Copies of this chain bind each other. A is one copy, B any other.
């Protein structure tokens, strides 16, 4: 009497996201009445009202919001479980590593090299690199499409993952080559903020929403690169990302920007030998300890 079925959670998430029974039912590929009934059942079982059915529309209650968060996590977990199980059964042990496209070039290269060198020919675990945009690594890890990911503190949401610190570095300001500030040898955050003609680009937050502000909204690095080259914006990125800069870009160290730590992250309860091996390799990389 206490056990939430994933079917119910799927239904509830659909309704909670659409805030509309008929649309949610359509999305689920079922009719509206069974959906209504399923939600009622769920509410009765929990003894809690999850949705406030006001005339004209449905609203989440506080408890509903809590369950929505929980349910999403569970459904991701279930999808991940299926994927990981299937992958564990396939003979070719392949490890999927998710990383932000364009970031951490050199670190990734060194990690892959070290991994190849370490495992050698025996039990060769192939690593497949999965390039994704902004905050996608977290989702990839959560739903099992990736086994490990390179992520950056404090930018990425690391909650729920195990991590191993790999590299801590300064941030730099990236400016168009012609800009007055580009001639400086170092800058502060205040310097950048004080230039009204060069608003700093805005990244989406973890929920995909952009903070309000003057700068352009950025989706990927190539877009950013172009906008900087055009002299329309500037950006604050970590030092190692210099590798993708254009000749018309200039990177200037920022003295007071928070440091960025690139970490290797994996699903907390993963006990996979392959993941453990890669983590060990990565840890070794840090100990032998070249800084970029």
Contact = CB atoms under 8 A, between A and B. Distances in A.
A132 interface: no
Contact of A69 (B61, B63, B271): B271
B88 A66 contact: yes
A240 B61 CA distance: 42
A145 to B, nearest CB: 13
Given A4-B81, A162-B159, A89 B69 contact: no
Given A71-B81, A269-B160, A89 B4 contact: no
Counting every copy of the chain, the complex holds: 2
A70 B84 contact: yes
A62 interface: yes
Interface stretch (A18-26, A44-52, A173-181, A251-259): A44-52
Interface in A241-277: 268-272
Nearest to A2: B82
Interface stretch (A72-80, A187-195, A215-223): A72-80
Given A3-B78, A79-B2, A67 B85 contact: yes
